[in-house]
Structures are given as C-alpha cells and as structure tokens.
C-alpha cells in the first residue's frame, strides 16, 4: 500500500488515503507468425482499471461524501497524488465499498499523468 492524496475536482474535497497501486497502462499483445516464428505485437492499450483506496482517519464530511458517491453511482473526476506523480482519473465510480473502514474500490475509465 502507498500513501496518496485523493482530491475530488468538482468540490475540491481532499483526503489522505492508502492505495494498492497507481494507475498504469495495460498492454495487450497479439500473437502472429512470421516465417514460422511466433512474434508478439502490441495491440490496443487499456487506460482503465481498478484502484483500492483506504481513507486514513476520514472525517464525517469524507464519510458522507463516500456514502453519497456510492449510492449515486455518479462518475466523477479525481486527482491522485502519490508523492512522485500526479494522475487525473476520469469517469471514476465506486465498484465496491466496505462500510466498517470506508475502504472503496473505484473503477476509472481513463487517466493522464499530470
């Protein structure tokens, strides 16, 4: 788990959290045969994925935000800063939420490094 600062861009609500992994591009490969040899060629890259987020000491405002976001299923934009790189995550929604510690698994549709 890595430390990160999560900022919701519409309201500028920010909180500290632990994340399992930063966003990354997942390459798909296609296998082709050239002159009898098997060769892997890069195919379309995926810019979407899942991130597990565990808020650190969430305030009542953060808890309320997470509950409202989970119930609305609204897609939002998030800025994620893990200390070395900032990422803009677009099309984020909560896929799974644990009510005891407000840990969430979010799905992001695309990301950009800032």
**Domain limits, the chain:** 2-113
Q: Which two tokens stand for residue 98?
A: 């644990």
CA distances from 86 to 23, 36, 78, 89, 90 (A): 10, 44, 10, 10, 13
Q: Which two tokens stand for residue 28?
A: 């798909």
Reading the chain (114 residues) residue by residue, the pLDDT tens digits are 899 999 999 989 999 999 998 887 777 777 888 888 888 877 656 678 899 999 998 899 999 999 999 999 899 999 999 989 999 999 999 999 988 888 999 999 988 887
Whole-angstrom Cα distance, residue 94 to residue 104? 7
The CATH topology of domain 2-113 is Pnp Oxidase; Chain A (2.30.110)
Our measurement of the distance from residue 97's CA atom to the centroid of its chain's CA atoms, rounded to an integer in Å, reads 14
Our measurement of the distance from residue 78's CA atom to the centroid of its chain's CA atoms, rounded to an integer in Å, reads 8
């Amino acid at each position: 788990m890595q430390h990160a600062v999560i900022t919701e861009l519409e309201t500028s609500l920010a909180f500290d959290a632990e994340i399992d992994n930063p966003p990354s591009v997942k390459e798909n490969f296609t296998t082709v045969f050239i002159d009898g040899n098997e060769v892997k060629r890069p195919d379309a890259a995926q810019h979407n994925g899942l991130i597990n987020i565990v808020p650190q000491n969430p305030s009542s405002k953060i808890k309320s935000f997470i509950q409202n976001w989970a119930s609305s299923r609204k897609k939002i934009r998030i800025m994620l800063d893990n200390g070395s790189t900032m990422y803009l995550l677009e099309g984020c929604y909560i896929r799974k939420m644990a009510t005891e510690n407000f840990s969430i698994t979010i799905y992001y549709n695309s990301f950009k490094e800032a």
